[in-house]
Amino acid sequence: MQTENMTVKEVADFLRVSRQTVYTMVKQGKIPCFRVGTKVRFKRGDVIALTQTQTQTQTKPVTTGVEDE
């Protein structure tokens, strides 16, 4: 059974980025987190929501401002 909370390593593996990238995202406020003592933790739902938001942003159609005739 997967736990509701994820570690930095688990988030990095899930997003396929480095742990340093996860820490950078935290510092920039791009991913919500909380601390347990000195450890950073993430809610699994927040991480999944982040990936869905990123996917929606990347799949929006590009408009050039020029209409087809």
Give 4's contacts (C-beta < 8 A, 6+ positions apart). 43, 44, 45
- The domain total for the chain is 1
In a domain, 11, yes or no: yes
Residues contacting 25, CB < 8 A, separation 6+? 31
| pLDDT tens-digit profile, the chain (69 residues) | 467 999 999 999 999 999 999 999 999 999 999 999 999 999 999 999 999 887 666 655 555 555 555
Hunting for tokens 């050039």 — which residue is that? 64
DSSP summary character for residue 65 = S
Residue 8's CB is within 10 A of a number of other CB atoms, namely 19
CB atoms under 10 Å from CB of 18, counted, come to 11
> In this structure, is residue 38 part of a structural domain?
yes
Within a domain: residue 10? yes
